[in-house]
Amino acid sequence: MHISDGVLPLSVTVGSYVAGAALAAWSARRTRNEELPKLAVMTAAFFVASLVHVPFGPTSVHLLIPGLTGALLGSSAFLSIGLGLLLQSFLFQFGGLTALGANALMMGLPALMCGWFFQRYKGHTRVRQAVVGGVAGASGSALAAIFLAILLVTGGEDFFGVAKIALLAHVPVFIIEGIVSAFTIGFLARVKPELLKPLFMRPQKGSHG
């Protein structure tokens, strides 16, 4: 699920670059120094997850994990996803450099939404955290598919057609990402619960950027 070069009109490309840069700057300002190692690890995980291919009929789709990234990083997720996508487009030729802004919006906004959702509803018990994390993980990619459809509408595509194809093609991804996210967050809740602290609600202190 990447937008390639030359699919979107110029105004949308430039606009998404501006919006993406603004969100990345906001995300960087919200990032605290102590979170940098966690951010690095999650960025690396997001970068590599796209190589995990799930066979699906004649084609294959790959994992995206914007939901898990958002749930673990909160407001810093946009920075992480932007960097991950930049390196993916450099090294894997996923998407294109001119479509990077649109791709960052497509993956980063679902990550922020899922992060907010997770922090809002995670509760305090381990099981509930795992379940909410799984829901966040599964809905991250679904939201990304819907954002893809919204962005492609500006390129002259039919919204419901694209949305239907993108959602249907990624059904196995949603399921697998939900399971992976639930297990990851359940595991982290057991061994390192401080990684799941609310990131959106925390007062902004000692930020860097």
Residues that bind another protein (CB under 8 A): 33, 36-37, 39-40, 43-44, 47-48, 51, 83-84, 87-88, 90-93, 206, 208
Q: What is the DSSP secondary-structure string of 51-97? A: T-EEEETTEEEE---HHHHHHHHGGGHHHHHHHHHHHHHHHT--S-S
Q: Supply the minimum distance, in Å, between the C-beta of residue 90 and another protein.
A: 8
Q: Which lies closer to another protein via its Cβ, residue 39 or residue 107? A: 39
- For another protein, which is the closer residue by CB, 39 or 71? 39
Min. distance of Cβ 137 from another protein in angstroms? 21
* Least distance in angstroms from the C-beta of 201 to another protein: 22
Residue for token digits 């932007």? 82
| Cα atoms found within 13 Å of the Cα of residue 92, Cβ hemisphere only | 14
Of 190 and 208, nearer to another protein (C-beta) is 208
Q: Give the tokens for residue 205.
A: 């202190």
Within 13 Å, how many C-alpha atoms sit on residue 183's CB side? Answer: 5
Q: Tell me the helices (H) and strands (E) count for the chain, helix number first.
A: 8, 2
Q: Which two structure tokens, joined as six digits, stand for 206?
A: 């000692």
Closest to another protein by CB, 80 vs 139, is 80
Tokens of 92: 């894997």
Nearer to another protein, 37 or 57 (CB): 37
- Minimum CB separation of residue 184 from another protein in Å reads 18
CB of 156 to another protein, least distance (A): 28
Q: Which is nearer to another protein, 81 or 144 (CB)?
A: 81
Closest CA to 69 of 31, 43, 36, 30: 43
> CB of residue 190 vs another protein: minimum separation in angstroms?
26
Secondary structure element (H or E) that encloses residue 187, with its range:
helix 171-191
